[in-house]
Amino acid sequence: MKIANCNGIIVGGIAAALLGIATVASRAQVVMNWPLQNFTGNICGWQSLTANVTLTYDPTQDNSTNGGGSCLFSADYSGTGLDVLGVRVNNVGCCCDLDTLLYLSDYASVDFDVKWDNLSTISLTAFNNSMSGGIQIVAGGATIGSFVMPAAATNGWAHVTVAVDPALTNVTFPGIAFESFYQAGGGGTAAFWMDNVQLTGRTNQVSLWPAASPGGVFTLKWNAAPGYTYTVQRSMDLSNWTNLVSGYPSGGATGTSVSYTDTNAPPAHALYRVSSP
C-alpha cells in the first residue's frame, strides 16, 4: 500500500502486503489558548455578580509554578434569596483592550483547576446535588457548557475541562460567566479555589493518519476536539469528493482522537480528508 501526505489529505491504496500502522503528519492550524487568569498576584478581571459571593486572592493556594496564588470563591447560602452563584471575568484578565471580542468557534473548551475548601459547612456532595444542571458557563448570552465539582477536589487540586458547544459557531463574547442556583433546603457556606483558567484553542484543520488497512477496508484516525463532529470524504482524483459520513461521531467526540473505517475502500487507491465546521 502506498501512503502519502497531500496537504492534510491521506492517500492510501489497499494491498495485503502492508497491514501495519503508518504515521503521516499533516498541517494543522491551531488557535492559541487564551488565558483568563493564572492569579499570579491578584484577581483583577474577575467580578462577583451576586451579593452572597465574594472573590478573594489567596497567595497560599496555588496549582502552578508561577509563584502566584489562586482565587477563593466563597458563597453564603444562609440568607433568604441568597441561592445564586454568579461570577464573571473579562477575556484579557487585567490589561490591554477590554473591548476585544472572542469567537466561540475558535475554542474547544474552558479549562481550569479547582480545590474544594473542606471547611465549608455544605459538603461537596450536597453542593453538587443542589445545583440545577451544575454550574453553567455562559458566554455571549449563550450557555456553552456546565460542570460539577469533581470529588477529587476534596483531596487537592483537580482539573476540569468543559467542552464548548460546537453548535455555537457564530457567538462572539468579551468574557465568560459562571452561574448556578443552589436549590437545597437549609443554608450554609460553600467555598473553593480556582486557578489556571483558560480558553483552549481548537484546531481548524485536523491532523490525520492511516491506522490500519486489513483487506478490503481502510481505517483512518485523526486528532479531535471533545464535543465536535466531523465529515469524512473520499476522492479518486482530488477534484470530486464523496461524503462517507457526516456528523460523526454521533453526539460528538468524547476524547482527543476519532477513527473511521471505510468498509468499501477501492482496491487500488483512494484519497481521504476530514473536516469539521
Quick one: pLDDT band at residue 72, thresholds 50, 70, 90? Answer: very high
pLDDT at 26: 33
Amino acid 85 reads: L
Cell numbers representing residue 5 in the block:
501526505
Span 201-220, pLDDT tens digits? 876 555 555 555 666 778 88
pLDDT, average across residues 191-196: 95
- Note the pTM of the prediction, 2 decimals: 0.65
Residue percentage of the chain with pLDDT more than 70: 77
Residue 31 backbone dihedrals phi, psi, to 5 degrees: -75, 130
- Location of each CATH 2.60.40 domain in the chain: 3-29+204-275
Q: What are the CA-CA distances from residue 42 to residues 36, 91, 214, 227 (Å)? A: 12, 15, 57, 33
pLDDT at 6: 29
Residue percentage of the chain with pLDDT more than 90: 29
Span 77-117, pLDDT tens digits? 886 556 788 899 876 545 444 456 788 888 889 999 999 99
Span 174-188, pLDDT tens digits? 889 999 988 766 678
- Location of each CATH 2.60.120.260 domain in the chain: 34-201
pLDDT at 2: 29
Q: Domain 34-201 sits in which CATH superfamily?
A: Galactose-binding domain-like (2.60.120.260)
Q: CATH number of 3-29+204-275: 3.30.70, 2.60.40, 1.10.3470, 3.30.160?
A: 2.60.40
CB hemisphere CA count around 20 (13 angstroms): 4
Give the full edge-to-edge strand order of the sheet including 3-6.
3-6, 9-12, 270-275, 230-235, 241-248
Cell numbers representing residue 108 in the block:
474547544
Quick one: pLDDT band at residue 151, thresholds 50, 70, 90? Answer: very high
Residue ranges in the chain assigned as alpha helix (H)? 124-129
CB hemisphere CA count around 60 (13 angstroms): 3
Residue that wins the pLDDT comparison between 159 and 34? 159
Residue that wins the pLDDT comparison between 139 and 131? 139
Q: Are 241 and 234 in contact, with CB atoms under 8 Å apart?
A: yes
